[in-house]
Structure 1
């Protein structure tokens, strides 16, 4: 992650300023705490910040040390407690998003489920020099994570679901899986699944436009020969689309929103 130069100046004394280099949310928050202590002789304690932001001392301490990344609302309350204005809170939130995306890349790389989400972020590039207001935070353009550069390649020419962005495309991909599996008839698929998949159910699923039922979705893939790490990739794509059908869950799943932007 690129280093961000943060130019902090007090709201009522524009002629007084200082510059620090930050690249994480925790560094930005600590820089503001240090600035308040230096200019106003007021160093906020962890307990005071927890009380002012409605959080707990444990959570605030972990956030300031960089051991955890707070969610959107919690970070917004911390920023307000430290005196950040609306525009500057938005800038710190952008740093949070970059950290969340970077963490998601590392997690997926360990599981062999890496998707180049940085390209999706590049479709909404952050203008260089943005946010030079109260704090002067210049948010850098995101760049691909080193861990996340290698894409998983489906085995044996299997259809690749990572490009799927909606339920219609998922159904198209499932039909491609059927072709890859030898174009078995619906009767044969029913027999292979030991009756788990009915012909009528398969017909509706492969001709429909809605997100398939999870159990039938997995059973169909296994029946067509998709298993192991490849099956995990398909399951990830299904969960991503399901999360987007329930917007209130997206904020709890790092990287989901960026992956489909």
Structure 2
């Protein structure tokens, strides 16, 4: 794995809320930045640490207050800009890599020419502690993902490449599985907001078991009767 990137929790970070995406640690998220306030955010971020807190909106009311001060959910993922391309009219294409979980302590509204919000953060997980090895969980997940049904799901082949790598901890593997295989944003937010990796593993195993049952039922039905959106190749 790449060298660990540190976050200075003593300083505020810019916050970028997304309506239909949740970033998890280790995952890579491409983003196209076009709003003027977030173009300013990227310009200033590139002159600093290159780190952004990726948040999600609280409830549905954000649509009516998008240009104002919509409520944000407390759990965020701190992301690092790892690739950047400046486009015409000040727009940006970036790749953001998730670094760590955090929670919002305070929202700092725009002021003094800054048009985007910032947040004071606290880590959700102990910064100095190493995650448990969780070998049994790793073996159980491998067994689940190599069964004839789940092994045909999209992205499983990519995920399985990480299992045999000694430099990929089970803690990191959980993040890869959550980001690559679990598509529901609410479920991903549960993973983001859960500080305990063993409980995160439980969430993932429960969802994989649910997908397995759904695929089993779908296989018994004619193609026309499959649940909408079901595909595994």
Greater RCO structure (CA 8 Å; 6+ sep) = 2
Whether the TM-score (by the shorter chain) exceeds 0.5 is no
- TM-score range for the pair, normalised by the shorter chain length: under 0.3
Larger Cα Rg: Structure 1 or Structure 2? Answer: 1
TM-score normalised to the size of structure 2? 0.23
Q: Which has the higher helix share?
A: 1
TM-score normalised to the size of structure 1? 0.22
